[in-house]
Structure 1
Protein backbone atom coordinates (compact mmCIF):
# COMPACT_ATOMS: atom_id res chain seq x y z
CA UNK A 1 0.00 0.00 0.00
CA UNK A 2 1.38 3.39 -0.99
CA UNK A 3 2.09 5.64 2.01
CA UNK A 4 1.62 9.40 1.60
CA UNK A 5 2.76 11.65 4.44
CA UNK A 6 3.50 15.36 4.56
CA UNK A 7 5.98 16.65 7.12
CA UNK A 8 5.93 20.38 7.85
CA UNK A 9 9.14 21.64 9.44
CA UNK A 10 8.89 25.22 10.68
CA UNK A 11 12.21 27.07 10.90
CA UNK A 12 13.21 30.37 12.60
CA UNK A 13 14.86 31.89 9.54
CA UNK A 14 14.07 33.44 6.18
CA UNK A 15 13.75 31.52 2.91
CA UNK A 16 17.07 32.96 1.74
CA UNK A 17 18.83 31.96 4.96
CA UNK A 18 17.40 28.45 4.86
CA UNK A 19 18.84 27.81 1.40
CA UNK A 20 22.35 28.41 2.75
CA UNK A 21 21.65 26.64 6.05
CA UNK A 22 20.33 23.51 4.34
CA UNK A 23 23.31 23.21 2.00
CA UNK A 24 25.75 23.71 4.87
CA UNK A 25 23.93 21.14 7.01
CA UNK A 26 23.90 18.49 4.25
CA UNK A 27 27.62 18.98 3.64
CA UNK A 28 28.57 18.74 7.31
CA UNK A 29 26.29 15.79 8.17
CA UNK A 30 27.57 13.83 5.16
CA UNK A 31 31.16 14.39 6.26
CA UNK A 32 30.38 13.30 9.81
CA UNK A 33 28.61 10.10 8.75
CA UNK A 34 31.09 8.92 6.09
CA UNK A 35 34.04 6.60 6.67
CA UNK A 36 35.77 3.87 4.68
CA UNK A 37 32.84 1.44 4.86
CA UNK A 38 29.70 3.53 5.18
CA UNK A 39 28.39 6.93 4.26
CA UNK A 40 27.79 8.97 1.14
CA UNK A 41 29.38 8.74 -2.30
CA UNK A 42 28.67 11.67 -4.63
CA UNK A 43 28.46 10.55 -8.26
CA UNK A 44 27.28 13.79 -9.86
CA UNK A 45 26.75 17.38 -8.80
CA UNK A 46 25.91 19.67 -11.69
CA UNK A 47 23.58 22.39 -12.88
CA UNK A 48 20.44 21.42 -14.78
CA UNK A 49 17.58 23.05 -16.65
CA UNK A 50 14.33 21.42 -17.74
CA UNK A 51 10.67 22.19 -18.41
CA UNK A 52 9.49 20.89 -15.02
CA UNK A 53 11.70 22.70 -12.50
CA UNK A 54 13.45 25.30 -14.60
CA UNK A 55 17.04 25.88 -13.47
CA UNK A 56 18.65 24.17 -10.51
CA UNK A 57 21.27 21.75 -9.20
CA UNK A 58 21.15 18.00 -9.88
CA UNK A 59 22.90 15.50 -7.62
CA UNK A 60 23.29 11.74 -7.78
CA UNK A 61 24.49 9.94 -4.65
CA UNK A 62 24.87 6.48 -3.15
CA UNK A 63 24.13 5.98 0.55
CA UNK A 64 25.66 2.98 2.33
CA UNK A 65 23.71 2.55 5.56
CA UNK A 66 24.38 -1.05 6.55
CA UNK A 67 24.77 -0.46 10.29
CA UNK A 68 21.43 1.36 10.46
CA UNK A 69 19.37 -1.60 9.22
CA UNK A 70 16.78 -2.70 11.81
CA UNK A 71 17.39 -6.19 13.17
CA UNK A 72 14.24 -7.68 11.62
CA UNK A 73 15.33 -6.55 8.13
CA UNK A 74 18.68 -8.33 8.39
CA UNK A 75 16.83 -11.62 8.94
CA UNK A 76 15.35 -11.48 5.42
CA UNK A 77 17.98 -9.50 3.53
CA UNK A 78 21.73 -8.90 3.69
CA UNK A 79 23.08 -5.71 5.21
CA UNK A 80 23.81 -4.46 1.70
CA UNK A 81 20.04 -4.14 1.28
CA UNK A 82 20.38 -0.66 2.76
CA UNK A 83 22.51 0.65 -0.07
CA UNK A 84 20.36 3.43 -1.51
CA UNK A 85 20.63 5.33 -4.78
CA UNK A 86 19.44 8.95 -4.68
CA UNK A 87 18.76 11.43 -7.44
CA UNK A 88 17.76 14.97 -6.47
CA UNK A 89 16.66 18.06 -8.38
CA UNK A 90 17.11 21.21 -6.30
CA UNK A 91 15.36 24.15 -7.94
CA UNK A 92 14.87 26.06 -4.71
CA UNK A 93 12.28 26.79 -3.39
CA UNK A 94 11.10 23.53 -5.03
CA UNK A 95 13.01 20.27 -4.73
CA UNK A 96 12.44 16.62 -5.61
CA UNK A 97 14.35 13.58 -4.39
CA UNK A 98 13.93 10.01 -5.68
CA UNK A 99 15.46 7.14 -3.71
CA UNK A 100 15.73 3.57 -4.97
CA UNK A 101 17.21 0.40 -3.54
CA UNK A 102 18.91 -2.03 -5.96
CA UNK A 103 18.14 -4.97 -3.66
CA UNK A 104 14.39 -4.21 -3.48
CA UNK A 105 13.74 -3.36 -7.13
CA UNK A 106 10.01 -2.62 -6.65
CA UNK A 107 10.67 -0.19 -3.82
CA UNK A 108 10.37 3.55 -4.43
CA UNK A 109 10.57 6.61 -2.19
CA UNK A 110 9.97 10.14 -3.39
CA UNK A 111 10.31 13.35 -1.39
CA UNK A 112 8.82 16.50 -2.91
CA UNK A 113 9.60 19.69 -1.02
CA UNK A 114 8.10 23.15 -1.26
CA UNK A 115 9.48 25.97 0.90
CA UNK A 116 7.17 28.78 1.98
CA UNK A 117 7.59 31.92 4.08
CA UNK A 118 4.90 30.89 6.58
CA UNK A 119 4.56 28.92 9.81
CA UNK A 120 3.19 25.66 8.41
CA UNK A 121 -0.41 26.73 7.84
CA UNK A 122 -0.61 26.27 4.04
CA UNK A 123 -2.89 23.31 3.40
CA UNK A 124 -2.08 22.12 -0.12
CA UNK A 125 1.24 23.49 -1.34
CA UNK A 126 1.81 20.35 -3.43
CA UNK A 127 -1.42 20.71 -5.41
CA UNK A 128 -2.79 17.28 -4.46
CA UNK A 129 -6.12 16.05 -5.82
CA UNK A 130 -9.03 15.00 -3.60
CA UNK A 131 -8.00 11.34 -3.54
CA UNK A 132 -4.44 12.20 -2.55
CA UNK A 133 -5.60 14.66 0.10
CA UNK A 134 -7.81 11.97 1.62
CA UNK A 135 -4.87 9.55 1.79
CA UNK A 136 -2.33 12.11 3.02
CA UNK A 137 -1.22 12.23 6.64
CA UNK A 138 0.17 15.51 7.99
CA UNK A 139 2.64 16.00 10.83
CA UNK A 140 4.03 19.34 11.99
CA UNK A 141 7.54 18.90 13.36
CA UNK A 142 8.81 21.10 16.19
CA UNK A 143 12.61 21.29 16.04
CA UNK A 144 12.62 22.47 19.67
CA UNK A 145 11.12 19.18 20.89
CA UNK A 146 13.43 16.84 22.81
CA UNK A 147 11.40 13.74 21.87
CA UNK A 148 13.47 10.68 20.90
CA UNK A 149 12.81 7.14 19.65
CA UNK A 150 14.73 4.21 18.12
CA UNK A 151 15.35 6.05 14.87
CA UNK A 152 16.63 9.10 16.73
CA UNK A 153 19.49 6.97 18.01
CA UNK A 154 20.00 5.18 14.68
CA UNK A 155 20.17 8.44 12.72
CA UNK A 156 21.88 10.42 15.46
CA UNK A 157 20.57 12.90 17.99
CA UNK A 158 22.04 16.35 18.60
CA UNK A 159 22.29 17.78 22.11
CA UNK A 160 20.93 21.26 21.38
CA UNK A 161 18.56 22.64 24.01
CA UNK A 162 16.73 25.31 22.06
CA UNK A 163 14.84 26.48 25.14
CA UNK A 164 18.18 27.96 26.27
CA UNK A 165 19.87 28.46 22.89
CA UNK A 166 21.04 31.91 21.76
CA UNK A 167 22.86 32.56 18.49
CA UNK A 168 25.83 34.90 18.84
CA UNK A 169 25.84 36.11 15.23
CA UNK A 170 22.10 36.40 14.56
CA UNK A 171 20.62 36.85 18.03
CA UNK A 172 18.08 34.08 17.27
CA UNK A 173 16.71 31.97 20.10
CA UNK A 174 15.65 30.70 22.48
CA UNK A 175 12.71 28.70 21.07
CA UNK A 176 10.02 28.47 23.73
CA UNK A 177 6.61 26.76 23.67
CA UNK A 178 4.50 28.08 20.79
CA UNK A 179 7.44 29.81 19.12
CA UNK A 180 6.15 28.91 15.63
CA UNK A 181 3.15 31.23 16.04
CA UNK A 182 5.03 34.43 16.82
CA UNK A 183 8.64 34.06 15.66
CA UNK A 184 10.03 36.28 12.89
CA UNK A 185 11.54 35.53 10.47
CA UNK A 186 9.91 32.15 9.91
CA UNK A 187 9.57 29.67 7.05
CA UNK A 188 8.41 26.10 6.50
CA UNK A 189 9.76 23.15 4.54
CA UNK A 190 6.74 21.14 3.33
CA UNK A 191 8.06 17.63 2.62
CA UNK A 192 5.67 15.21 0.93
CA UNK A 193 6.95 11.64 1.26
CA UNK A 194 5.51 8.98 -1.04
CA UNK A 195 6.72 5.47 -0.34
CA UNK A 196 5.79 2.14 -1.91
CA UNK A 197 7.23 -1.27 -1.02
CA UNK A 198 4.85 -3.78 -2.67
CA UNK A 199 6.24 -6.91 -1.02
CA UNK A 200 3.97 -9.50 0.54
CA UNK A 201 4.60 -10.17 4.21
CA UNK A 202 6.97 -7.32 5.03
CA UNK A 203 6.23 -4.46 2.61
CA UNK A 204 4.05 -2.46 5.01
CA UNK A 205 6.55 -2.92 7.82
CA UNK A 206 9.35 -1.71 5.56
CA UNK A 207 7.30 1.33 4.54
CA UNK A 208 6.60 2.25 8.16
CA UNK A 209 10.23 1.77 9.16
CA UNK A 210 11.48 4.00 6.37
CA UNK A 211 8.85 6.65 7.10
CA UNK A 212 10.02 6.67 10.71
CA UNK A 213 13.62 6.89 9.53
CA UNK A 214 12.85 9.83 7.23
CA UNK A 215 11.01 11.57 10.06
CA UNK A 216 14.01 11.19 12.38
CA UNK A 217 16.32 12.45 9.64
CA UNK A 218 14.13 15.50 9.03
CA UNK A 219 14.16 16.31 12.74
CA UNK A 220 17.89 15.85 13.21
CA UNK A 221 18.90 17.68 10.04
CA UNK A 222 16.69 20.67 10.75
CA UNK A 223 17.78 20.86 14.39
CA UNK A 224 21.33 21.01 13.05
CA UNK A 225 20.34 23.68 10.52
CA UNK A 226 19.42 26.00 13.36
CA UNK A 227 21.95 24.75 15.91
CA UNK A 228 24.83 25.45 13.51
CA UNK A 229 23.56 28.94 12.61
CA UNK A 230 26.71 30.68 13.84
CA UNK A 231 28.77 28.55 11.43
CA UNK A 232 26.81 29.39 8.26
CA UNK A 233 25.22 32.76 9.06
CA UNK A 234 26.56 35.40 6.66
CA UNK A 235 27.90 32.97 4.04
CA UNK A 236 27.02 33.78 0.44
CA UNK A 237 25.67 31.23 -2.05
CA UNK A 238 28.99 31.40 -3.90
CA UNK A 239 30.90 30.56 -0.73
CA UNK A 240 28.59 27.68 0.17
CA UNK A 241 28.80 26.24 -3.37
CA UNK A 242 32.59 26.26 -3.18
CA UNK A 243 32.51 24.52 0.19
CA UNK A 244 30.00 22.00 -1.16
CA UNK A 245 32.13 21.10 -4.19
CA UNK A 246 35.26 20.68 -2.11
CA UNK A 247 33.31 18.68 0.47
CA UNK A 248 32.09 16.30 -2.25
CA UNK A 249 35.67 15.56 -3.25
CA UNK A 250 36.65 14.89 0.36
CA UNK A 251 33.67 12.56 0.77
CA UNK A 252 34.74 10.36 -2.10
CA UNK A 253 38.29 10.26 -0.78
CA UNK A 254 37.02 9.10 2.62
CA UNK A 255 34.90 6.32 1.13
CA UNK A 256 37.65 5.26 -1.30
CA UNK A 257 35.67 5.95 -4.45
CA UNK A 258 36.52 7.80 -7.69
CA UNK A 259 36.08 11.55 -7.76
CA UNK A 260 32.62 12.84 -8.60
CA UNK A 261 31.56 14.02 -12.03
CA UNK A 262 31.32 17.81 -12.08
CA UNK A 263 31.64 20.58 -14.61
CA UNK A 264 35.38 20.76 -13.96
CA UNK A 265 37.82 17.95 -14.54
CA UNK A 266 39.93 18.15 -11.43
CA UNK A 267 38.78 19.17 -7.95
CA UNK A 268 42.30 19.83 -6.74
CA UNK A 269 42.90 22.39 -9.48
CA UNK A 270 39.66 24.17 -8.68
CA UNK A 271 40.27 24.80 -5.00
CA UNK A 272 43.23 26.13 -3.09
CA UNK A 273 44.77 24.53 -0.03
CA UNK A 274 43.19 27.26 2.08
CA UNK A 275 39.69 26.23 1.00
CA UNK A 276 40.54 22.62 1.84
CA UNK A 277 41.46 23.69 5.36
CA UNK A 278 38.17 25.60 5.60
CA UNK A 279 36.18 22.45 4.81
CA UNK A 280 38.20 20.46 7.32
CA UNK A 281 37.32 23.07 9.93
CA UNK A 282 33.64 22.68 9.05
CA UNK A 283 33.84 18.90 9.44
CA UNK A 284 35.50 19.03 12.84
CA UNK A 285 33.51 21.94 14.27
Structure 2
Protein backbone atom coordinates (compact mmCIF):
# COMPACT_ATOMS: atom_id res chain seq x y z
CA UNK A 1 0.00 0.00 0.00
CA UNK A 2 3.02 2.30 0.28
CA UNK A 3 3.00 2.22 -3.53
CA UNK A 4 -0.78 2.07 -3.82
CA UNK A 5 -1.41 5.28 -1.90
CA UNK A 6 1.07 7.24 -4.04
CA UNK A 7 -0.56 5.94 -7.21
CA UNK A 8 -4.06 6.68 -5.92
CA UNK A 9 -3.28 10.23 -4.78
CA UNK A 10 -1.69 11.18 -8.12
CA UNK A 11 -4.42 9.67 -10.28
CA UNK A 12 -7.23 10.98 -8.06
CA UNK A 13 -5.78 14.51 -8.11
CA UNK A 14 -5.53 14.41 -11.90
CA UNK A 15 -9.12 13.22 -12.31
CA UNK A 16 -10.49 15.87 -9.96
CA UNK A 17 -8.61 18.73 -11.63
CA UNK A 18 -9.85 20.93 -14.42
CA UNK A 19 -9.15 24.39 -15.81
CA UNK A 20 -8.68 26.65 -12.79
CA UNK A 21 -9.71 23.99 -10.27
CA UNK A 22 -7.90 21.07 -8.72
CA UNK A 23 -4.52 20.21 -7.24
CA UNK A 24 -1.34 22.01 -8.29
CA UNK A 25 1.91 20.39 -7.15
CA UNK A 26 4.38 23.04 -6.00
CA UNK A 27 7.08 20.87 -4.46
CA UNK A 28 7.84 17.15 -4.24
CA UNK A 29 11.23 16.06 -2.96
CA UNK A 30 12.97 13.68 -0.53
CA UNK A 31 13.08 14.77 3.09
CA UNK A 32 14.92 13.42 6.12
CA UNK A 33 13.67 13.72 9.68
CA UNK A 34 15.94 13.00 12.67
CA UNK A 35 13.17 11.03 14.38
CA UNK A 36 11.16 9.47 11.54
CA UNK A 37 14.01 8.92 9.09
CA UNK A 38 13.86 9.24 5.30
CA UNK A 39 10.62 10.38 3.74
CA UNK A 40 9.06 12.56 1.07
CA UNK A 41 7.86 16.15 1.43
CA UNK A 42 5.16 17.55 -0.86
CA UNK A 43 3.50 20.94 -1.07
CA UNK A 44 0.34 21.43 -3.09
CA UNK A 45 -2.27 24.08 -3.75
CA UNK A 46 -5.84 22.86 -3.81
CA UNK A 47 -8.08 25.21 -5.83
CA UNK A 48 -11.68 24.44 -4.87
CA UNK A 49 -13.81 27.57 -5.04
CA UNK A 50 -16.60 25.96 -7.06
CA UNK A 51 -16.71 22.99 -4.67
CA UNK A 52 -17.47 25.17 -1.65
CA UNK A 53 -21.04 25.54 -0.36
CA UNK A 54 -22.78 28.81 -1.20
CA UNK A 55 -22.39 30.22 2.32
CA UNK A 56 -18.62 29.70 2.09
CA UNK A 57 -18.26 31.11 -1.45
CA UNK A 58 -19.88 34.30 -0.22
CA UNK A 59 -16.92 35.10 2.05
CA UNK A 60 -13.88 33.88 0.09
CA UNK A 61 -12.15 35.47 -2.91
CA UNK A 62 -12.76 34.18 -6.43
CA UNK A 63 -9.28 32.63 -6.68
CA UNK A 64 -9.18 30.62 -3.49
CA UNK A 65 -6.86 27.78 -2.61
CA UNK A 66 -5.79 25.73 0.37
CA UNK A 67 -2.13 24.90 0.91
CA UNK A 68 -1.38 21.25 1.63
CA UNK A 69 1.94 20.22 3.14
CA UNK A 70 2.64 16.53 3.70
CA UNK A 71 5.53 14.59 5.22
CA UNK A 72 5.38 10.93 4.22
CA UNK A 73 7.43 8.59 6.43
CA UNK A 74 5.39 5.52 5.61
CA UNK A 75 3.88 3.88 7.66
CA UNK A 76 3.53 7.26 9.39
CA UNK A 77 2.52 10.49 7.65
CA UNK A 78 1.66 14.06 8.62
CA UNK A 79 -0.56 16.30 6.50
CA UNK A 80 -1.42 19.94 7.16
CA UNK A 81 -3.88 22.23 5.40
CA UNK A 82 -3.84 26.00 5.83
CA UNK A 83 -5.25 29.02 4.03
CA UNK A 84 -3.68 32.48 4.02
CA UNK A 85 -7.11 34.05 3.52
CA UNK A 86 -8.38 32.33 6.69
CA UNK A 87 -5.48 32.53 9.16
CA UNK A 88 -7.49 30.89 11.96
CA UNK A 89 -8.33 27.83 9.85
CA UNK A 90 -6.24 24.66 9.84
CA UNK A 91 -6.51 20.90 9.38
CA UNK A 92 -3.92 18.57 10.88
CA UNK A 93 -3.97 14.86 9.99
CA UNK A 94 -1.67 12.20 11.38
CA UNK A 95 -1.83 8.77 9.76
CA UNK A 96 -0.55 5.39 10.90
CA UNK A 97 -0.86 2.17 8.92
CA UNK A 98 -1.09 -1.23 10.62
CA UNK A 99 -1.81 -4.77 9.47
CA UNK A 100 -5.08 -5.29 11.32
CA UNK A 101 -8.79 -4.63 10.84
CA UNK A 102 -8.96 -1.45 12.93
CA UNK A 103 -8.72 -3.13 16.30
CA UNK A 104 -6.00 -0.92 17.82
CA UNK A 105 -7.95 1.52 19.99
CA UNK A 106 -4.83 2.99 21.58
CA UNK A 107 -2.82 3.82 18.47
CA UNK A 108 -3.01 7.59 19.06
CA UNK A 109 -2.90 7.61 22.85
CA UNK A 110 0.41 9.49 22.92
CA UNK A 111 -0.64 12.09 20.34
CA UNK A 112 -4.14 12.79 21.64
CA UNK A 113 -4.28 11.57 25.23
CA UNK A 114 -5.70 14.88 26.48
CA UNK A 115 -8.06 15.52 23.56
CA UNK A 116 -11.72 14.69 23.28
CA UNK A 117 -12.07 12.30 20.35
CA UNK A 118 -14.81 10.77 18.28
CA UNK A 119 -13.92 7.45 16.63
CA UNK A 120 -15.44 6.92 13.20
CA UNK A 121 -15.05 3.70 11.20
CA UNK A 122 -14.98 4.02 7.41
CA UNK A 123 -16.11 0.96 5.47
CA UNK A 124 -14.91 1.23 1.86
CA UNK A 125 -17.45 -1.37 0.71
CA UNK A 126 -20.67 -0.51 2.51
CA UNK A 127 -20.57 3.20 3.40
CA UNK A 128 -22.52 5.53 1.12
CA UNK A 129 -20.62 8.06 -0.98
CA UNK A 130 -21.94 11.21 -2.68
CA UNK A 131 -23.81 10.15 -5.81
CA UNK A 132 -21.76 12.38 -8.12
CA UNK A 133 -18.61 10.41 -7.22
CA UNK A 134 -20.06 6.93 -7.65
CA UNK A 135 -18.64 4.65 -10.35
CA UNK A 136 -19.59 1.01 -10.56
CA UNK A 137 -16.05 0.12 -11.68
CA UNK A 138 -14.75 1.59 -8.39
CA UNK A 139 -17.35 -0.09 -6.17
CA UNK A 140 -15.61 -2.73 -4.00
CA UNK A 141 -18.88 -4.70 -3.90
CA UNK A 142 -18.63 -5.22 -7.67
CA UNK A 143 -14.89 -4.98 -8.39
CA UNK A 144 -12.84 -8.18 -8.66
CA UNK A 145 -9.05 -7.96 -9.02
CA UNK A 146 -7.59 -10.10 -11.78
CA UNK A 147 -4.05 -10.01 -10.38
CA UNK A 148 -4.79 -10.62 -6.70
CA UNK A 149 -8.20 -12.30 -6.70
CA UNK A 150 -9.44 -9.79 -4.13
CA UNK A 151 -12.75 -8.09 -4.43
CA UNK A 152 -16.50 -8.17 -4.42
CA UNK A 153 -16.52 -7.28 -0.75
CA UNK A 154 -19.69 -8.09 1.14
CA UNK A 155 -21.12 -7.07 4.50
CA UNK A 156 -18.76 -8.23 7.24
CA UNK A 157 -15.76 -8.47 4.89
CA UNK A 158 -13.42 -7.08 7.56
CA UNK A 159 -13.86 -10.22 9.64
CA UNK A 160 -13.23 -12.69 6.82
CA UNK A 161 -10.81 -11.21 4.26
CA UNK A 162 -7.03 -11.57 4.30
CA UNK A 163 -4.67 -9.81 3.92
CA UNK A 164 -6.15 -6.76 5.60
CA UNK A 165 -4.75 -3.47 6.84
CA UNK A 166 -6.11 -0.31 8.43
CA UNK A 167 -5.28 3.33 7.81
CA UNK A 168 -5.70 5.15 11.14
CA UNK A 169 -6.30 8.90 10.87
CA UNK A 170 -6.19 11.46 13.66
CA UNK A 171 -7.95 14.51 12.20
CA UNK A 172 -7.92 17.88 13.99
CA UNK A 173 -9.89 20.79 12.52
CA UNK A 174 -9.67 24.35 13.83
CA UNK A 175 -11.62 27.39 12.71
CA UNK A 176 -11.56 29.93 15.51
CA UNK A 177 -14.13 32.42 14.23
CA UNK A 178 -17.07 33.23 16.45
CA UNK A 179 -20.41 32.34 14.94
CA UNK A 180 -18.98 30.04 12.26
CA UNK A 181 -16.67 27.73 14.20
CA UNK A 182 -19.03 24.80 14.79
CA UNK A 183 -20.58 24.94 11.33
CA UNK A 184 -17.26 25.08 9.50
CA UNK A 185 -15.56 22.40 11.61
CA UNK A 186 -18.47 19.99 11.15
CA UNK A 187 -18.50 20.66 7.40
CA UNK A 188 -14.74 20.07 7.10
CA UNK A 189 -14.91 16.80 9.05
CA UNK A 190 -17.61 15.57 6.67
CA UNK A 191 -15.57 16.58 3.61
CA UNK A 192 -12.44 14.88 4.96
CA UNK A 193 -14.42 11.71 5.65
CA UNK A 194 -15.85 11.68 2.10
CA UNK A 195 -12.39 12.22 0.58
CA UNK A 196 -10.89 9.39 2.62
CA UNK A 197 -13.75 7.06 1.71
CA UNK A 198 -13.55 7.83 -2.01
CA UNK A 199 -9.75 7.71 -2.14
CA UNK A 200 -9.44 4.35 -0.41
CA UNK A 201 -12.20 2.83 -2.55
CA UNK A 202 -10.21 3.92 -5.59
CA UNK A 203 -6.94 2.55 -4.20
CA UNK A 204 -8.64 -0.82 -3.83
CA UNK A 205 -10.34 -0.72 -7.23
CA UNK A 206 -7.13 0.36 -9.01
CA UNK A 207 -5.01 -2.37 -7.42
CA UNK A 208 -4.35 -4.10 -10.76
CA UNK A 209 -2.84 -0.86 -12.07
CA UNK A 210 -0.27 -0.42 -9.28
CA UNK A 211 0.19 -3.92 -7.83
CA UNK A 212 3.28 -4.79 -9.93
CA UNK A 213 4.90 -1.34 -9.72
CA UNK A 214 8.24 -0.71 -8.06
CA UNK A 215 8.88 2.40 -5.99
CA UNK A 216 10.90 3.94 -8.83
CA UNK A 217 8.08 3.26 -11.27
CA UNK A 218 5.41 4.81 -9.07
CA UNK A 219 7.62 7.86 -8.47
CA UNK A 220 7.96 8.30 -12.24
CA UNK A 221 4.19 7.88 -12.64
CA UNK A 222 3.73 10.44 -9.87
CA UNK A 223 6.07 12.94 -11.57
CA UNK A 224 4.47 12.59 -15.02
CA UNK A 225 0.93 12.76 -13.63
CA UNK A 226 1.70 15.83 -11.55
CA UNK A 227 3.09 17.66 -14.58
CA UNK A 228 -0.01 16.73 -16.58
CA UNK A 229 -2.26 17.87 -13.73
CA UNK A 230 -0.52 21.25 -13.48
CA UNK A 231 -0.99 21.75 -17.23
CA UNK A 232 -4.63 20.69 -16.93
CA UNK A 233 -5.33 23.27 -14.24
CA UNK A 234 -3.72 26.07 -16.23
CA UNK A 235 -1.14 28.74 -15.63
CA UNK A 236 -1.41 30.72 -12.42
CA UNK A 237 0.45 33.90 -11.49
CA UNK A 238 3.95 33.00 -10.28
CA UNK A 239 4.89 33.30 -6.66
CA UNK A 240 7.39 36.11 -6.27
CA UNK A 241 10.11 35.42 -3.76
CA UNK A 242 11.97 38.40 -2.38
CA UNK A 243 15.27 37.73 -0.69
CA UNK A 244 17.57 40.19 0.98
CA UNK A 245 21.00 40.43 -0.62
CA UNK A 246 23.76 42.15 1.40
CA UNK A 247 25.52 45.04 -0.26
CA UNK A 248 28.98 44.23 -1.52
CA UNK A 249 31.96 46.51 -0.87
CA UNK A 250 32.58 48.97 -3.68
CA UNK A 251 35.91 47.31 -4.45
CA UNK A 252 34.21 44.09 -5.62
CA UNK A 253 31.24 45.53 -7.49
CA UNK A 254 31.05 44.57 -11.12
CA UNK A 255 29.54 47.85 -12.32
CA UNK A 256 31.83 50.21 -14.26
CA UNK A 257 33.41 53.08 -12.36
CA UNK A 258 31.22 55.58 -14.20
CA UNK A 259 28.01 53.97 -12.94
CA UNK A 260 26.37 55.55 -9.89
CA UNK A 261 26.80 53.49 -6.77
CA UNK A 262 24.53 53.06 -3.78
CA UNK A 263 26.05 54.89 -0.79
CA UNK A 264 27.03 52.56 2.01
CA UNK A 265 26.69 55.29 4.64
CA UNK A 266 23.40 56.28 6.22
CA UNK A 267 24.42 59.97 6.19
CA UNK A 268 23.06 62.24 3.48
CA UNK A 269 25.40 63.08 0.57
CA UNK A 270 27.36 66.29 0.93
CA UNK A 271 25.39 68.14 -1.76
CA UNK A 272 22.16 67.49 0.20
CA UNK A 273 23.55 68.56 3.56
CA UNK A 274 22.51 71.87 5.06
CA UNK A 275 25.54 74.12 5.75
CA UNK A 276 26.06 74.40 9.45
CA UNK A 277 26.88 78.12 9.31
CA UNK A 278 23.84 79.06 7.21
CA UNK A 279 21.26 81.05 9.22
CA UNK A 280 17.90 79.33 9.49
CA UNK A 281 14.79 81.10 8.25
CA UNK A 282 12.19 81.82 10.86
CA UNK A 283 8.73 80.64 9.92
CA UNK A 284 7.09 81.86 13.16
CA UNK A 285 7.54 84.79 15.57
CA UNK A 286 9.87 84.35 18.49
CA UNK A 287 7.01 85.00 20.94
CA UNK A 288 3.31 84.37 20.71
CA UNK A 289 0.90 86.71 22.51
CA UNK A 290 -2.28 85.06 23.79
CA UNK A 291 -5.45 86.98 24.74
CA UNK A 292 -6.13 87.73 28.38
CA UNK A 293 -8.55 85.04 29.63
CA UNK A 294 -10.06 87.56 32.11
CA UNK A 295 -11.43 89.70 29.27
CA UNK A 296 -14.54 88.60 27.43
CA UNK A 297 -14.26 88.23 23.71
CA UNK A 298 -17.05 89.19 21.39
CA UNK A 299 -17.46 87.39 18.11
CA UNK A 300 -19.39 89.19 15.41
CA UNK A 301 -20.61 87.29 12.38
CA UNK A 302 -23.00 88.56 9.73
CA UNK A 303 -26.55 88.30 11.00
CA UNK A 304 -25.48 87.08 14.47
CA UNK A 305 -25.09 89.32 17.50
CA UNK A 306 -23.68 88.40 20.87
CA UNK A 307 -25.01 89.85 24.09
CA UNK A 308 -24.91 89.21 27.81
CA UNK A 309 -28.71 89.23 27.88
CA UNK A 310 -30.70 86.12 26.99
CA UNK A 311 -32.38 86.14 23.61
CA UNK A 312 -36.13 86.56 23.44
CA UNK A 313 -38.16 85.58 20.42
CA UNK A 314 -39.75 88.48 18.62
CA UNK A 315 -43.50 88.56 18.60
CA UNK A 316 -45.12 88.41 15.20
TM-score range, shorter chain: 0.7 to 0.9
- Select 2:47's aligned residue among 60, 64, 73: 64
Within 5 Å, give how 1:46-85 maps onto structure 2. Answer: 46-81=29-64, 83-85=65-67
Q: 3-state SS of the aligned residue for 1:140?
A: coil
Q: Gaps (5+ residues) in structure 1?
A: 1-17, 261-285
Name the structure with the higher strand share: 1
Answer yes or no: is 1:21 the counterpart of 2:4.
yes
Which protein is bigger by CA-based radius of gyration? Answer: 2
Residues 174/218 of structure 1: CA separation in 2 closer, same or farther (3 Å cut): same
Q: 3-state SS of the aligned residue for 1:245?
A: helix
Answer yes or no: is 1:37 the counterpart of 2:37.
no
**Aligned-CA RMSD value:** 1.8
Q: Which residue does the alignment assign to 1:219?
A: 197
Kept in 2: contact 1:158–1:224 (CA 8 A): no
Q: Which residue does the alignment assign to 2:75?
A: 93
Q: 3-state SS of the aligned residue for 2:158?
A: helix
Measure, in 1, the Cα distance between the counterparts of 2:93 and 2:112. 17
- Select 1:137's aligned residue among 118, 126, 145: 118
Q: Which residue does the alignment assign to 1:158?
A: 135
CA shift digits 1:248-272 (9 cap, x unpaired) = 22222222348x9xxxxxxxxxxxx
Answer yes or no: is 1:236 the counterpart of 2:214.
yes
Measure, in 2, the Cα distance between the counterparts of 1:76 and 1:129. 32
Report the alpha carbon displacement of residue 183 of structure 1 after superposing the two structures with TM. 1.1
Measure, in 1, the Cα distance between the counterparts of 2:38 and 2:121. 29
Kept in 1: contact 2:4–2:203 (CA 8 A): yes
Q: Which residue does the alignment assign to 1:273?
A: none
Runs in 1 of length 4+ with deviation above 4 angstroms?
A: none
- Select 2:157's aligned residue among 171, 176, 179: 179
Q: Gaps (5+ residues) in structure 2?
A: 239-316
Name the structure with the higher helix share: 1
TM-score (norm: length of structure 1) = 0.78
Measure, in 1, the Cα distance between the counterparts of 2:91 and 2:233. 25
Measure, in 2, the Cα distance between the counterparts of 1:173 and 1:249. 32
- Select 2:185's aligned residue among 191, 198, 207: 207
Measure, in 2, the Cα distance between the counterparts of 1:30 and 1:163. 24
Kept in 1: contact 2:139–2:205 (CA 8 A): no
Measure, in 2, the Cα distance between the counterparts of 1:249 and 1:76. 31
TM-score (norm: length of structure 2) = 0.71
